[in-house]
Amino acid sequence: MPSRSEDVVAHYAAHLRAERHASPHTIRGYVADVRQFLAFVGAPTPAAVRPEAVRHWLRAVGDTVARTSTARKLAAVRGFFRFLVDVERLGADPTAGIATPKAPRRLPAHLTLDDIDRLLVTPRPDTLLGLRDRAMLEVLYSSGVRVGELVGLDWEHVDAETDCLRVLGKGRKERVVPFGRPARRALADYRARCAEAGLAVQGGPVFRNARGGRLTARSVARLMERYVLVSGTTAKATPHALRHTFATHMLGAGADLRAIQELLGHASLSTTQRYTHVDLRRLMEAYDRAHPRA
C-alpha cells in the first residue's frame, strides 16, 4: 500500500468516487482541502499528524475564512483520516475529539408568491429557448429539485401520465417527485416545439443549450440572473432559492415535514427543519403587524 501523502490522497479520492458516489465538484473540494491541510502541517505522511497540529491548523484557518468554510474544511480532513482508519492505514484518527466550529444558522432565502408569479412568466413563450426556460423555471419551483438534478433529466425521466420526475440525487439516490399542472403545460409546450425543431424528445436531455448539448447548472444560474433583472423581482432568486421557495410554500400551506423531506431528497430531517424557522418568522411578522398588544 502507498505511504506517501499524495498517493494516500489519491486513494481517498478514488474512495469518494467509487464508494461514496461523490460528485466531481465535491471530490475536487475535499482533495484540495486535504492537500492544503497536509501542506500546512508539513507532515511527511498522514501517520505523522498529531491532534495538536490539527488544532493549530484550525485556528489558522479560522482567522482567514468564515466559520462555514472552516467547518467544511475540517469535514474534508476528518473524512480523510476516518477513511485511513477504516482501511487500517492508521491506528487512530488525529481529528477525533476536535469540535466542529459552530456556524450561525441562516434562514434559507426564498421568494414570495408575487415574486414567483412575476419570474415564471418572464421567458418569452414564442421561441424555443423561451419555452425551454419557462419549463425549466416551472419545474424548479414545482418539484423542488436541485439544479444538478434538473439538468440531468432526460425525457425518459419525465412521466407525463403521472406528472412525476425520476431524479438521481446526492449519493446517486433515485427518487420520484411530482410536478404541478403549470409545469406539465410548460413541459408539453416545450416538448412540442422541440419535436417541430427536429430535436429528440424520446431520449436525451430535456434541457438543451442553443447548440443542442445538455444545459449546465452554471448556465441555468446565469439565465435566472437575467430573468430576475427583467422581471423586477427584488429577492435573491437563484436556482437554489427556488428549491427553498418550494419547501417554504409547501410548509406554509400545511404540508407534512416528513413529506417535504422525501420530496427534497434530504437524508436527515434536521436539514428540512430549517424551513420551520422560515415559517415561524413569517408568523411572527404577521403577529407583530396585526395583534394590538404585540
Cα(135)–Cα(1) distance, integer angstroms = 51
- Residue 154 bridge partners (DSSP): 205
224: DSSP letter: H
Given the residues 78, 240, 274, 282, the one annotated as active site: 240
240 belongs to the catalytic site: yes
Given the residues 72, 243, 244, 249, the one annotated as active site: 243
Residue with cell 425518459: 156
Decide: 19 and 33 in contact? Cβ < 8 Å: no
Given the residues 170, 175, 214, 274, the one annotated as active site: 170
Given the residues 89, 146, 191, 249, the one annotated as active site: 146
Cα 216 versus chain centre, distance: 14
Given the residues 11, 17, 82, 266, the one annotated as active site: 266
170 belongs to the catalytic site: yes
69-92 exposure pattern, b = at least 16 Cβ within 10 A, e = fewer = ebbbbbebbbbbbebbeeeebbee
25 belongs to the catalytic site: no
243 belongs to the catalytic site: yes
Cα(199)–Cα(209) distance, integer angstroms = 12
3-state secondary structure 139-192: HHHHHCCCHHHHHCCEHHHEECCCCEEEEECHHHCEEEEECCHHHHHHHHHHHH
Catalytic residue positions?
146, 170, 240, 243, 266, 275
